[in-house]
Amino acid sequence: MTSAADFFAAKLAHETDPADLAAARAAGAGPVVVDVRSPQAWDQGHLPAAVHLPDVARAAEVLPDRDADLVVHCWGPGCNGSTKAALALVEQGYTRVRELIGGYEYWVREGFAVVTPEGRVRRSPDPLTAPVPD
């Protein structure tokens, strides 16, 4: 039986949240962000500098470094596309794969920048997901 400490340590090793991802990117140590949503969703908006990979079977073409630090996301907590994609990437030999908990939805709700057809935009943080700046 897995201990609670082992369970939570494993969970933290395989997930990150929007605030931690933003901090890593700001520090210049950011992972490669992999967006597995549809082309229509990508066109609606995506994280800056993300890689679009709606078909994980094409991963080797788009992500040649199997040791790269990858963070995979889809729409949000109601979507398991990132879980499926993370599993597929690991099965293809990628060694450092994590999921962005909350996905695109929580990245936007926490007030981080996205790229839309209008350019780079940022919404005010949702007070239910992030502190509202003074």
Active site residues: 74
- What count of Cα atoms within 13 Å lies in the side-chain half-sphere of residue 78? 1
How far is it, in rounded angstroms, from Cα 44 to Cα 70?
22
- What count of Cα atoms within 13 Å lies in the side-chain half-sphere of residue 11? 9
> Is residue 107 classed exposed, middle or buried when 0-12, 13-18 and 19+ CB atoms within 10 A define those classes?
buried
How far is it, in rounded angstroms, from Cα 64 to Cα 93?
11
54 touches 61 (CB < 8 A): no
Total residues found in the chain within this entry: 134
